Amino acid sequence: MNICPVNSKTLRQLWSLVEQTQSSTLLRLSDSDLVQQLLTQLDSQQALSNEEISSVNSYLWSRTNLIRDLAIARLA
């Protein structure tokens, strides 16, 4: 399996999307819906290759708990 790393520009855009998304939305969505929504929003901002989509998808799945923790912290 060949893994395409996520570049820094994409990571910045992705975390910017997390910050722009309402905390209640981040907490309400299931893990799969959360990953899909963020991936769809990112892909609409910059065209991603299939390899990039796969890498970002894996990255998001590994960070769902962190994304939810950040959303909870913003509500406090």
Q: For residue 75, what pLDDT band results from cuts at 50, 70 and 90?
A: very high
User: Average pLDDT for residues 1-12, to the nearest whole number?
Assistant: 79
Classify the C-alpha dihedral 47-26-70-61 as positive or negative.
Answer: negative
- Read off the pLDDT of residues 24-73 as tens digits, 9 standing for 90 and up: 999 999 999 999 999 999 999 999 999 999 999 999 999 999 999 999 99
Query: What contacts 74, CB < 8 A, 6 or more positions away?
Result: 23
Tell me the whole-structure pTM to 2 decimals: 0.89
CA distance 29 to 37: 9
pLDDT given for residue 1 in this prediction: 47
Asked if residue 57 lies in contact with residue 35, where contact means CB atoms within 8 angstroms, the answer is yes
